[in-house]
Amino acid sequence: MNSVAVVGSANLDLVAHTPRRPAPGETVLGTGYRQHPGGKGLNQAAASAAMTTTAFVGRRGSDDAGRVLAAELVRHGVDTSQFLAVEGPSGHALITVTPDGENSITVLPEANHLLLPADVTRALDLLAPRLVLTQLEIPRETTEATARWAVTHGVRLMLNASPSAALPEHVLAAADPLVVNLTEARQLTGADTPADAARLLAELCVSAVLTLGSDGSLVVEKGRTTHLPAPSLTPVDTTGAGDVFAGVTAAQLAHGTGLAEAARQATQAAARAIRTPRSSR
């Protein structure tokens, strides 16, 4: 039995390094280019697998990119028995990284949008995980089916509500925790400040983690809010750091670690990732 099942996306990331982000209508010459396996689901599964047995539920294309994505998960020790190929292209992401380590991302879902609710239900029945982690780069109805399966089977659901999208109340109510950044939290709650956002998130779900970048994170559970500071560092590349945070948190929770301590350890892991070039992770 796997401790964690990650239901989500896998993309081949096309990463361009540029001196700055182009303005609308402007062309900027890049300084470097690389391809990396990625996608929120794949990244989170790889991070979780470094700490516990982890399976990935997703769809890849019948192209070379799909074979690269499957090989990357295998390299990290992830169970890929439910990462199946479908006809057509795999998901891709177009990523621009500037010298300050910040990034802008455009996601092309492709095969990821062929992961259907029945696929997830069947896969999770076979995998029988202790914890399910999912995100929003797959169809909304598939996310809903994932939440229903977790509730029905009494399995802990961790929901990284990214990229931001409207979600039914019953999906949010099942999240333990809901993990969002400040932008996503504002879109969910309408709050202006992190403190207000944290308070309102607590009304939507069982528990929540509000990530604040260099300001750390706020962990909200059982009526209490805990601030976890982030290490002081100079970022090299922030791409995928949030996914490392989510994957490590999931692995720790699956082993019975409390949420605040799980998030603390995940913060350290994300900091190590930010200091490391993507190609070396």
Question: What gap in Å lies between CA 159 and CA 153, rounded to an integer?
Answer: 16
Q: Are 228 and 214 spatial neighbours (Cβ–Cβ below 8 Å)?
A: no
Residue spans of alpha helices (H) in the chain? 40-49, 64-75, 117-127, 140-153, 169-174, 182-189, 194-204, 241-254, 259-274
Residue 136 DSSP label = S
Query: Which residue is it, tokens 């909304």?
Result: 140
Q: How many CA atoms lie within 13 A of 267 on its CB side?
A: 24
Task: Indicate if 64 belongs to the active site.
Answer: no
Rounded (10°) angle between helices 40-49 and 241-254? 50
Long-range contacts formed by 153-156: CB under 8 A, 24+ apart = 153/124, 155/129, 155/130, 155/131, 156/130, 156/131, 156/132, 156/253, 156/254
**Residue with the two structure tokens 């995940």:** 266
Measured distance CA(32)–CA(214) in Å, rounded:
26
Torsion sign (Cα): 50, 221, 155, 158: negative
Q: Give the position of tokens 């509730």.
A: 151
Of 13, 79, 237, 243, which one is the catalytic site residue? 243
Instruction: Just list the catalytic residues.
Output: 243
